[in-house]
Structure 1
């Protein structure tokens, strides 16, 4: 199959240069090219299987559910995907309902002028508190990440009065949570193109739009698995932090970085807990500790509903990439930095059905709360050292992946 002759939508990995023998590849094939593509693969003796027979059918099903308008917070349905107008409504309802725990702030504005809100969640304190950062929706089509942020916020707010572990965490930690970072792109994925990934900034005199915001940070910007072509789904922008969304996040995190102990960014799909670095095979000096904490989180996830998450540095177990927020946070000196790639492993890809929202969110919450517990007990609650005694152990993680080429 010659990519120059057959135009397919590459979903995994993100870049042609990252396709190697023995590596799993996911592509979306137009129905008009399906027969020829299968024939071509068979002639070249490349094994494949069809993961989704009809992508459009899955897209249509996600827009069938009844839209809800101006309902109370008590009637909000956390097991459905919500468009941005409903999420804005929910944001203000959360602020109003939990005034003793929640403060609402503006992170900044998107390219199209929409306000990016973030919550500060924690119990009042007379002393300066440590921070756990979380953002969702940096890639527009990854709706489950946005649904997770809403679920997680609901959980910690509801559990603080009846769960000792959550209450103790909220005493010592403030959570800074951005429910949707890429608001313009998220709205576009609802109104125009369900598979849209990027933001919506204009480039090349309006001939193409959007930047992959997770390629726009200045962590070795534009060097690996990033494109300078604005038409690419992984276009990294015109310069590091060229996008207002990244500028807004960078400015706030930079101002708080001495207090942030953990930076978590939520994505889909693949079921990974990724550690720095994505741009190099080198490992951060506290890799052993981060790996151990991540493995515990994966165990808690598996205990919840049986889902298996792989843990390790991105460049070792997934692919190399530059410009990611996870690597950027690690280079800023934030001790713990993780990227969660939520469900699933390739059955539904970016179209995770709504009946999987609850188990996905329950297991991811269990995993993240295990990270919170560890940080609270070992690096905040009476512990002054930021790193444990295992900090200086360097580990190398390698994983052999059985591979097939999947087409739709």
Structure 2
């Protein structure tokens, strides 16, 4: 029999890959109910047949004593379902196992999109260690591929006397002031983050939205 954590993982993956984008699970919670006697089983079993009327979904296959039951609870049903669990003198203890199902699904989509992107970016693995030479080669490749947007530059040497290089994402077009005159001076945008973030950010934005960035880079650097 599948364990409860595995069932939850499978259900999340199913929701994340099959549900349409119109369906939002923002602020939906997963409650883990603790079943300790037959009265609680009977109560939960009876409710499970009408749970769909409240958009409540049971993620556990069976109801058994001393086995947890995972339930997805939408924001609108949080108070009423909590009250139900204490009715009729048959109180069912629970904990909030997942506070926001929508956020978890979104994170999984990001990982899936990242994985898909990584498989199509010239085999540069973003989850593996790379030597400085490999990173420099990657920078050279970006500059060569997107020469109209990427311009290489150097900031000097490291304490190991190695070149510290990078590239600027910018357009060679002149910016236009509010009065209509042209100028080479543009508003500057500075991003701060880790090396992995910058490598992925630069590659994904140049690779996926180069045409959009040509327009943006005409106004700012």
TM range (shorter): 0.3 to 0.5
Which structure is larger by alpha-carbon Rg, 1 or 2?
2
Q: Normalization by structure 1: what TM-score? A: 0.21
Higher relative contact order (CA 8 A, sep 6+): 1
Q: Normalization by structure 2: what TM-score? A: 0.37
